[in-house]
Structure 1
Amino acid sequence: MTADNSRLDADILIVGGGLSGTMLAVQLLRLAGQRRITIVESRSELGRGEAYSATELGHTLNGNAARMSVDPDNADDLTQWLTDFIAAGGWPESDDEHVPVAELFPPRGIFGLYVQQRLAEAQALGARHGSSVEHVRGEVSDLEHSASGVRLTLADGTELTGRFAVLATGMFAAARTPQRDSNALNAAAVDPWDVQAMSRLAPQGRVLIIGSGLTMVDAVVSLEQAGHRGPIDVFSRHGLLPHVRRQPPAWPDFLGADHSIRSTRQLVRALREQCARAIAQGIDWQAPLDTVRVHIGRLWSQATDVQRRQFVRHVRPWWESHHHRSPPPSARLLERLVQEGRLNIHAAFLLGVDSAEAGKVSIQVRRRGEDQASQISGDALINSTGIQYDWRRVDRALPRNLLDRGLVQPGPLALGIAADAGGAVLDAQGQVSDRLFAMGPPLRGLWWESTAVTDVALQAKALAIRLAEFG
């Protein structure tokens, strides 16, 4: 690989053009200096990725506008943009909510437009000092790097070279990701976000859903919009539904005031005490819980592997259901369906997916507290198990090749990949790369919470500054 920068395709190659890759490009374009940025993304549009390609108005953000700014220096950025967007007639349905703009939960498709506009503005700014961004449509299948630079190989054989590369691959949605161990569930399942496919289901048919998190919430919204009116049975290990997101008042930052709280046991005990104190004062228990969010990265990174495993095994299901909460419109739909008797939640472990007669699906589950398996039949199946963070199980060319050749190693607890605190990737021998970086969901094992908009925005700014320091 040549060290002649004039012959490189880009200074910085970004693998993935969803929220993570686009926000990194925005931050790089805002910095002084000339940079050629190339984003490799298979979709026709940048800024949407897996999460924000949804087109249905019912698929909304699970955080209100005040919590979802992509500008780490302006918490009101989305609120300000959304105010102008609504005033211009961009989202007339928002009038139905009758709440301030900051408290609205905008559709994810509209959020994608917001991200794209911020990219366009950054491109105009970057052009003034000679920086540019190019979108190359394709999927990166392999990567190699040396002391002189990085080379990407695309699925169609195209090669791109640059000084640095950033893995901004985003989330591998389990419903859309081939798995190395088994694809039986996906082979029999309907896509949770494909309303058109759901419209072809029997309106009164029985739908089985595996997983009870936010992907399940999306799936139920999709079914409702597709005209499905039959029974829905949801199966997950603990049978926990996401709580509805409310707008609680401010609460003192008890973790910021007491750094002696370090272990999982200490955190749970302190949080329960704070929530009980809030309830006693007539304040929503979500108020103290929301103060924990900014400390998760610190708590997770300073924890031992034993403590992390304790959290994942014993606390994670309740953390997910209490912290990753459902937007109010979706929560109201679920509550109505439960009251009507159409939506039933079962605590059960999926054992397998069996072949069934045409137009039917059959699964084996073991219900919580029971030893014997149960056979459940339905008219359709949906995989709502969430995100696959273990790169060893993702059956796609790039993760497979990077792991097999030792260019990356699994992150803590096999969550994503390993990197230093600034996003520089660690290889199989633990060597820190000075050419390959990562951000967003691939750093799940490093920070635990590495998928939210605010997480991505902060990482994008910090990584852009780090890359700019190389000149």
Structure 2
Amino acid sequence: MLLNTTVEFTFTDPDNPQEFLNYLNDVLNCDVKGEDFVSREYFYQFLEFKISRTPRFSQYVHFIREDVLSVKKISSHPQKGFLLKTALQTQAYDACILCCGQNLKKISPNQFSSSIISPYPASALNQFRDEKLLIIGSGLASIDVLVHLSKNHFRGEIDLLTRSAALPSVKKRDPALQVPEFAAFLADHNKGTSSGYEKLNSLVRAIDSYCQKKGSSLSYFQNYKPSLTDQLHYDYDLCRSAHNIWEDIIVDIIYALNNIWPDLTNREKDYFHTDIEPWLGRLLDAMPLKSADAILKLAENVPIQFVSHEKATQTHYSAIINATGLDKPSTSIFLQSLAQDGLLSFNHAGGVKTCPQTGRTKTALHLYSCGAINRGESYTSGSIYWTALTAQKISQTLLSR
């Protein structure tokens, strides 16, 4: 499940994307809409409810609501399993799968004179009506903040501090399937490629060729406007005018990147982050059309602008909203303790290193890692699609024991 977002994007079954929303309204009588944010407690209750309705799983699955303090090998023999310790109990397990996600980045309060708050839960933003706010970050977390402020009829001032000085692009939908036609384009452009640089650039050429064949152009989406609202209007109009051909092949692009990623050198990854990701990342992380609607409505009544770090540190804000996103898994004290015990190690991006075939953190151990903490092992380690693929590999490995 994708958390820290609106209800409409939270589900466990892609064929039934309304399942969580229906659970909230039909079972818990919450009266919420798809664009609403809800407490994480509801996610937990939903998972318990779903498991309880699946007899073949419910007898084997047990939920323990406690913080994990440590995971230790039972002995030096790798097949003996692990001891998992909480404040109240210690349990032995044959295998352990780490799915603990990432923490939000922390901002040093010494940089600013105002209080710093997290945008999650979104109810923390309900206190603001006409203040001057600074949002740090311009990814989807900042979009969540802007949408929530719009919903609350905020009428103050908003500054955004970000390295990219650009919001995500705008999209109508999330395609669920790959497009065979694009796969053919990519295969054609990949002929004769050997280095990571060539593979990355051939992917870009394939995207452009596909867009041009469909009457669009990749150059439309590499065009930056002078202001936040100008850029948002531009992206919004492209989306509404059916130029967003790239929307059809998002799954293909992510799949291609994830397959290229493990073989890239750190220098090739740095090249991608510098030369390709600034525009491609805006497309892959594009906001829903109705989020853009909400932000444009907010911008009609509220000045919203990007500001420099120097100006932000010299300005007094009623509050600073930390929308910088997720921190590196390597900053987790819990994961650091596992690394110190030799149970895992971290990669160049600060994520947990895993075996691409099995999901194991170490070849001889039955300790596995799945989801966002595998940051850097693929391009989108935390995406639902790639997490599900990793989970499948882990399941196959466990069943083959």
Q: Deviations over 1:397-431 (max 9, x none)?
A: 312212333322112x22411010121003xxxxx
Aligned match for 1:286, one of 230, 233, 246: 246
CA contact (8 A) 1:199 1:227 kept: no
Q: Does residue 141 of structure 2 align to residue 215 of structure 1? A: yes
Task: State the match for 1:134 in structure 2.
Answer: 62
Q: Which amino acid aligns with 2:334?
A: L
CA contact (8 A) 1:141 1:397 kept: no
Q: Which amino acid aligns with 2:56?
A: L
Q: Which amino acid aligns with 1:318?
A: W
Superposed, 1:96-175 pairs within 5 Å as: 109=38, 112=43, 115-122=47-54, 124-126=55-57, 131-145=59-73, 146=75, 147=77, 148-154=80-86, 156=87, 158-174=89-105
CA contact (8 A) 1:244 1:331 kept: yes
Task: State the match for 2:182 in structure 1.
Answer: 253
CA contact (8 A) 2:168 2:287 kept: yes
Aligned match for 1:313, one of 274, 283, 298: 274
Q: Does residue 392 of structure 2 align to residue 461 of structure 1? A: yes
Task: State the match for 2:15 in structure 1.
Answer: 76
Q: C-alpha displacement at 1:434, in angstroms?
A: 2.2
Q: Deviations over 1:40-79 (max 9, x none)?
A: xxxxxxxx8xx15x7xxxx3445xxxxx7635xxx52436
Aligned match for 2:336, one of 400, 407, 425: 400
How many angstroms apart in 1 are the aligned matches of 2:278 and 2:215?
A: 22
- Secondary structure in 1 aligned to 2:159? strand
How many angstroms apart in 2 are the aligned matches of 1:294 and 1:245?
A: 19
Q: Deviations over 1:376-404 (max 9, x none)?
A: 3221101111111x233x2x431221233
Q: Unaligned regions of 5+ residues in structure 2, if any?
A: 218-241
Q: Which amino acid aligns with 2:12?
A: V
Q: C-alpha displacement at 1:298, in angstroms?
A: 0.6
Q: C-alpha displacement at 1:243, in angstroms?
A: 1.4
How many angstroms apart in 2 are the aligned matches of 1:197 and 1:82?
A: 22
How many angstroms apart in 1 are the aligned matches of 2:305 and 2:323?
A: 15
How many angstroms apart in 1 are the aligned matches of 2:153 and 2:88?
A: 43
Superposed, 1:201-350 pairs within 5 Å as: 201=128, 203-247=129-173, 252-254=181-183, 257-258=187-188, 259-260=190-191, 263-280=199-216, 283-287=243-247, 289-290=249-250, 291-346=252-307, 348=308, 350=309
TM-score by length of 2: 0.76
- Secondary structure in 2 aligned to 1:378? coil
Q: Which amino acid aligns with 2:290?
A: P
CA RMSD of aligned residues (A): 3.5
Task: State the match for 1:414 in structure 2.
Answer: 349
Q: Which amino acid aligns with 2:168?
A: P
Task: State the match for 2:315 in structure 1.
Answer: 376
**Structure 1 pair 135–184 and aligned structure 2 pair: CA distance change class (3 A):** farther
Q: Which amino acid aligns with 1:409?
A: S
How many angstroms apart in 1 are the aligned matches of 2:174 and 2:151?
A: 30
**Structure 1 pair 200–326 and aligned structure 2 pair: CA distance change class (3 A):** same
CA contact (8 A) 1:275 1:289 kept: no
Q: Deviations over 1:199-239 (max 9, x none)?
A: 334x2111001101100011123333445321111111121
Superposed, 1:424-463 pairs within 5 Å as: 424-426=360-362, 432-463=363-394
More strand by share: 1
**Structure 1 pair 280–199 and aligned structure 2 pair: CA distance change class (3 A):** closer
**Structure 1 pair 217–248 and aligned structure 2 pair: CA distance change class (3 A):** closer
CA contact (8 A) 2:161 2:312 kept: no
How many angstroms apart in 1 are the aligned matches of 2:271 and 2:142?
A: 26
